[in-house]
Structure 1
Amino acid sequence: MKTRASFFLIFAVLAVLAGSLSAADAAKADPESREAREQRLAWFRQDKFGLFIHWGLYSIPAGYWKGQRSPGIGEWVQHRLKIPNAEYADLARWFNPVRFDADAWAQLAQDAGMKYVVITSKHHDGFALFRSAASPFNVVDATPFKRDVVAELAAACAKRGLRFGVYYSQSQDWHEPGGAGNNWDFPGNDTKEKSGAFDRYLQEKVEPQLRELLTNYGPICLIWFDTPQLMNGVSQAHRGKRLTDIVRSLQPATLIDGRLGTVGDYQSTGDNVIPPKASDAAFEVPATLNHTWGYRSDDHNWKSPGELIFKLVDIVSKGGNYLLNVGPTAEGVIPQPSQDNLREVGAWLRVNGEAVYGTGRSPFGEEFGEYATNLKDRAGQPVFLGFNDWRCTTKPGKLYFTLFKVERDGPLGVFTLPAFKNRISSVYALTDAGRTPLEVKTHADGRRFFHPERWVNDSMGTVYVVEYEGDQIER
């Protein structure tokens, strides 16, 4: 009997392993399958918070050109003012960011509680922050700096256990005659497509540079493509597929964002656009600390630490990730207000990170807000009226309520829990190492509530943990 039992145990173990191998084999055989995508997304769903870095030649004019102010965001100065390509490219001779310190940048990300870093390896101006055999218009060959920024930052991130990814503008390239976007120096996009110039640009610059990034810089956690011009039509899908195939063949675990022009591993929202409701689909909100992405000397509209914390918790409670941007100066310095505000967010996360990292979305929804009855936007759609009092994230058996505004009930604050049927086993403040239980009471209408430690408004958010019985919330 013992021998027979051992046989069945071994058989069971082998069966489980075979099932696992089958799933892995299936994912390998079809990298676009749901199983393969979820394997790639595992770290993304865990990490929640990343640092975006927009840096390049545009940090030199910093929003101005020959005394003229460029409207809008800093990295679009060439496009907005229609700067001739030859004049703009001459900025490379002056790009010498002697104060650039990859270790300091990576340390800031770590101090802020971020888990991954994404830098603009090539933005729309066509200038690469890495050594490239495919184009001399890069930081090593075209500037007096002569250092590979991507290589240094990748190494600094690896040293700190941060994941490293790259932004790459695949369609727009204002430096190349075949690239999209520069119609003041070169013919329009339709002409480029019909003549084959755009495909030659992809084959001669984009595809080789993508191979360089995926070959020379260690593990790349994600490729952040952008503005899929000439790549998102039915007849244009072959272009995005070629790039996808390069990524899958060289680094199968690398994520592809939602702006390539074909289906990516996760959805990228609009810039600074937070969805009104929660979603089970993986998504990421790319956002700025002030108004611009690339450095502008006149943009001091910094979001406060409290605003940043609310946005982070709001996004995570809806099932997404927050990719928050900094725009370093031409000298290679991240503006001090960016550093200060990010470090305050990091200080909050060191205490409250359990309510963010690896959490699931809210099982409720009424906390997000509601659509207006009569108020409509320019497109004629109802305006969403957001509520900002609290947000909820989850782990098995736990609800994390981050409270930003608490109603007053006499000398005490009161927080009424959303309705759910599970028995509550404990409620306590996350900051309380002793997990002192708070009394849970019941209103006349049957809704349960407790008294937080303070009732005043708290822009930084205070987290309370509600432990409950059961595998999931029952409504």
Structure 2
Amino acid sequence: MRVPLLLLIATLAWLGSPVPRLDAATPAAETADAKAERMQWWADARFGLFLHWGLYAVPAGEWKGKRDYGEWIMEEADIPKAEYERFASRFDPKKYDPDAWARAARAAGMKYVVITSKHHEGFAMWDTQGTDYNIARRTPYGKGVLAPLADAVRRQGLHFGVYYSIMDWHDPSQRGNKPNVLNPTLIDPAQKARYVRDMKTELKELVQQTGAEILWFDGEWVDWWTREDAEDMVAYLRGLKPDLIINNRVFNSRGGMGGISAEGMPGDFHTPEQEVPAAGLGAGEYWESCITMNRHWGYNRHDQAWKSDRELIRMLVDVASKGGNLLLNIGPTADGELPAPALQRLDAIGRWMQVNGEAIYGTQSTALAQAPAWGRITRKPAGDGQPERLYLHVFDWPTDGVLRLPLAGKVAEAVLLAEPGVALRAETSGGELHLQLPPKAPDADASVIRLTLAQEH
């Protein structure tokens, strides 16, 4: 589609004009050590819950006979704003129990929860002064859902974060001009300053009302959102809360679904989507794979393509073995329930984590060039009076009863986490460790052996 000349001139003029900034103290430059300290709880957590909840839960994936929609249904089904707004009158999550959600996350072994405060549809899930298009003013439910969840999550000893979309299909500044699916809106240049002010109003509310510890941005790929805008937003948010953790989607620098930004880009951590990197990113680099339990982020009643317990447990192990976090997604229903198949999988992961959680939390990747054929390895370095420990996550139990690992150092102890009172025989020969295992794996999905390495004197 050709751009009208007057609009093109206005757009070029707007690109060169500054956006008014709201007052917020600009924090001092952060050292690597200071960032490591700020990120410590997040890096130790390794496992979090993602929740995609909004008006898109009402049609539940179906529109005019098609059944494969999710949270993008407004754009993908080309639903006009006025028609889409009617979903609000049907959004009444009377079954919403934030304490039950928080308990489910904790029981699964998760350490933090991130929920959509406002997705691309532009509907806010709290009572905000930034827009009247929100759950408190437009739905029969008549109140926000974020602060109650934040409180419930903290009662369970977990951390809380919010997702926020930079792109907003509902806002009058943005129109449904679709040059391609990845840039479906074109902002009205004259309204950008107002829109950014509203964003800051909403984000300030989220930080202050929910105590959000993570701000998980998305929709950053629109061509009107510049690096200057992103850096200003980060400085503004750091002025509100210096220890806030912000993902790399605050600016369009992540290189597609792979989610990895170049050095020096705004944000604290990389965000691979629906995939796990082939290898870790190295020391000082933080990353989190966000992955759905089935095929959709938002609730789709027809989507029964659930990943198995085994696939999810091994995915968590794979991510941790490469030094990353797993943010596992569930799309709640419009009634306010977590789908039963999702809860069943959380329960299975939780049972595994009760036995093997120490092999996930606070672990790091190893120096091995590639993962062993039989599974994965996580590591806890020596420190605080503790020796170095390796955790061998065995997916494929050896048929000959011997697990082999290229390791020249001496082993002080080798035990299965499922049977900690029984020591395994460990022998080193030719730079290779041989572990004598019982004939049957204690866990069919992933059995974990803890190796405590002998300390050198």
Q: TM-score range by the shorter chain?
A: 0.7 to 0.9
Q: Is the 8 A contact 1:406 1:457 kept in 2?
A: no
Q: Is the 8 A contact 1:70 1:80 kept in 2?
A: no
Aligned equivalent of 1:202, options 189, 192, 196? 196
Aligned match of 2:312: 308
User: After the TM superposition, which residues 321-360 of structure 1 pair with which residues of structure 2 at under 5 Å, given as runs?
Assistant: 321-360=325-364
Name the amino acid aligned to 1:398: R
Q: Is the 8 A contact 1:404 1:457 kept in 2?
A: no
Give distance in 2, aligned partners of 1:441 and 1:103: 49
Name the amino acid aligned to 1:206: M
User: After the TM superposition, which residues 177-256 of structure 1 pair with which residues of structure 2 at under 5 Å, given as runs?
Assistant: 177-179=172-174, 182-183=176-177, 192=187, 195-203=189-197, 205-218=198-211, 220-230=212-222, 236-256=226-246
How many Å apart are 1:158 and its aligned residue? 1.5
Task: Tell whether 2:422 aligns with 1:429.
Answer: no
Where 1:30 maps in the other structure, the secondary structure is coil
Give CA deviations for 1:3-28 in whole Å, capped at 9, x if unaligned: xxxxxxxxxxxxxxxxxxxxxxxxx9
Give distance in 1, aligned partners of 2:408 and 2:31: 36
Task: Tell whether 2:347 aligns with 1:320.
Answer: no
Give distance in 2, aligned partners of 1:342 and 1:326: 10
Name the amino acid aligned to 2:216: W
Aligned equivalent of 1:401, options 370, 377, 392? 392
Aligned match of 2:436: 451
Q: Is the 8 A contact 2:408 2:431 kept in 1?
A: no
How many Å apart are 1:134 and its aligned residue? 1.2
Give distance in 2, aligned partners of 1:308 and 1:189: 33
Q: Is the 8 A contact 2:27 2:235 kept in 1?
A: no
Q: Is the 8 A contact 1:307 1:459 kept in 2?
A: no
Q: Is the 8 A contact 2:318 2:376 kept in 1?
A: yes
The size of the alignment, in residue pairs, is 407
Give distance in 2, aligned partners of 1:317 and 1:103: 31
Q: Is the 8 A contact 1:425 1:467 kept in 2?
A: yes
Give distance in 2, aligned partners of 1:460 and 1:191: 48
**Structure 1 pair 82/441, CA: closer, same or farther in 2 (3 Å)?**
same
Aligned match of 1:46: 44
After superposing the two structures, state which structure 1 stretch, 29-38 or 138-147, moved more: 29-38
Name the amino acid aligned to 2:404: T
How many Å apart are 1:178 and its aligned residue? 1.7
Task: Tell whether 2:92 aligns with 1:101.
Answer: no
How many Å apart are 1:198 and its aligned residue? 3.3
Give distance in 2, aligned partners of 1:344 and 1:146: 35
Give distance in 2, aligned partners of 1:366 and 1:449: 19
Aligned match of 1:272: 274
How many Å apart are 1:35 and its aligned residue? 2.9
Task: Tell whether 2:114 aligns with 1:123.
Answer: no
Aligned equivalent of 1:439, options 398, 403, 425? 425
Where 1:313 maps in the other structure, the secondary structure is helix
Give CA deviations for 1:240-276 in whole Å, capped at 9, x if unaligned: 122212210111111001111052111111x211001
Larger radius of gyration: 1
Aligned match of 1:377: none
How many Å apart are 1:467 and its aligned residue? 1.2
Aligned match of 1:7: none
Give distance in 1, aligned partners of 2:87 and 2:72: 14
How many Å apart are 1:215 and its aligned residue? 1.4
Where 2:187 maps in the other structure, the secondary structure is helix
How many Å apart are 1:442 and its aligned residue? 4.5
After superposing the two structures, state which structure 1 stretch, 278-287 or 76-85, moved more: 278-287
Q: TM-score, normalised by structure 2?
A: 0.84
Q: Is the 8 A contact 1:57 1:330 kept in 2?
A: yes
How many Å apart are 1:191 and its aligned residue? 5.5
Q: Is the 8 A contact 1:400 1:465 kept in 2?
A: yes
Give distance in 1, aligned partners of 2:431 and 2:184: 63
How many Å apart are 1:402 and its aligned residue? 0.8
**Structure 1 pair 321/101, CA: closer, same or farther in 2 (3 Å)?**
same
Aligned match of 2:84: 88
Name the amino acid aligned to 2:58: I
Task: Tell whether 2:282 aligns with 1:290.
Answer: no
Q: Is the 8 A contact 1:310 1:460 kept in 2?
A: yes
Where 1:407 maps in the other structure, the secondary structure is coil
Give distance in 1, aligned partners of 2:291 and 2:154: 24
- Structure number with higher relative contact order (C-alpha < 8 Å, ≥ 6 residues apart): 2
Where 2:233 maps in the other structure, the secondary structure is helix
Aligned equivalent of 1:68, options 54, 65, 69? 65
Give distance in 2, aligned partners of 1:408 and 1:190: 57
Name the amino acid aligned to 1:119: I
Q: TM-score, normalised by structure 1?
A: 0.81
How many Å apart are 1:136 and its aligned residue? 0.5
Aligned match of 1:373: none
Gaps of 5+ in 2: 1-25, 252-264, 383-387
Q: Is the 8 A contact 1:289 1:326 kept in 2?
A: yes
Give distance in 2, aligned partners of 1:117 and 1:146: 23
Q: Is the 8 A contact 1:60 1:91 kept in 2?
A: yes
Name the amino acid aligned to 1:451: Q
Name the amino acid aligned to 1:132: T
Give distance in 2, aligned partners of 1:63 and 1:469: 55
Aligned match of 2:162: 166
Give distance in 1, aligned partners of 2:231 and 2:348: 41
Aligned equivalent of 1:259, options 241, 249, 265? 249
Aligned equivalent of 1:414, options 402, 405, 410? 402
Gaps of 5+ in 1: 1-27, 369-386
How many Å apart are 1:232 and its aligned residue? 8.5
